[in-house]
Structure formats: structure tokens, C-alpha cells
Amino acid sequence: MSSSDQAEPVIVAMPASEVEAAILKAALEAEGIPSWVLGALTSGFRAEAPGRAKLVVRAADAARARAVLEQPGDAEHPDGDD
């Protein structure tokens, strides 16, 4: 994979809300993984313009980001409950 491929954005999560997206983004950035939320402005619409936020990272960080997001007690479930 070339260095430009490593910089390509990869979706690692599709949070249900802007709040969830912000929490997951903060969890990644706390681990030193830069991330971006795309589509957050349309994530709340339900009628004519449905959409979901997408949490993206560089391809080089995707595996590590997914591991962080899948950890028990992650930002989505801070107390470890499911």
C-alpha cells in the first residue's frame, strides 16, 4: 500500500447521533488517533434527507481505531455495561 493509500479516509463507525459521534471521536483522539465526523449536519433528519454521521480515520489508523472502539468500557459504554 502506498503512503497516499494510507492517508485515505476509512469509515470506522456510523454513530446514531452527533453526540455519539463526538464521544467516539474523543475516545479515538484520547488514544492519539486523528478522526473526523462526516455528515453530522444531516444525521438528525428523518424525512426528506435521512443521513447518518460517519466517523472516519486514515486507513493507516483504521485497525487501531476499530480496536479502541470495540474495547469493553469504551466511550459508548463507560461503565462497561452493554
Average pLDDT (13-18) is: 88
Q: Residue 29 falls within a domain, yes or no?
A: yes
For the ranges 2-6, 63-67, 78-82, the maximum mean pLDDT occurs at 63-67
C-alpha gyration radius of the chain: 13
Q: Residue 23 falls within a domain, yes or no?
A: yes
Average pLDDT (67-73) is: 87
Q: Residue 77 falls within a domain, yes or no?
A: no
Q: Which domain holds residue 16?
A: 3-70
User: Sheet harboring 9-13: ordered strands across?
Assistant: 9-13, 54-58, 36-38
Q: Residue 58 falls within a domain, yes or no?
A: yes
Q: Model's pTM, two decimal places? A: 0.71
Q: Residue 12 falls within a domain, yes or no?
A: yes
Pairing of strands 36-38, 9-13: unpaired
Phi, psi of 61 (to 5 degrees): -100, 0
Q: Residue 76 falls within a domain, yes or no?
A: no
pLDDT of residue 52 exceeding 50, the answer is yes
**Domain count within the chain:** 1
CA–CA distance, 48 with 29 (Å, rounded to integer): 33
Burial class of residue 64, CB neighbours in 10 A (0-12, 13-18, 19+):
middle
Percent of the chain with pLDDT strictly greater than 70: 68
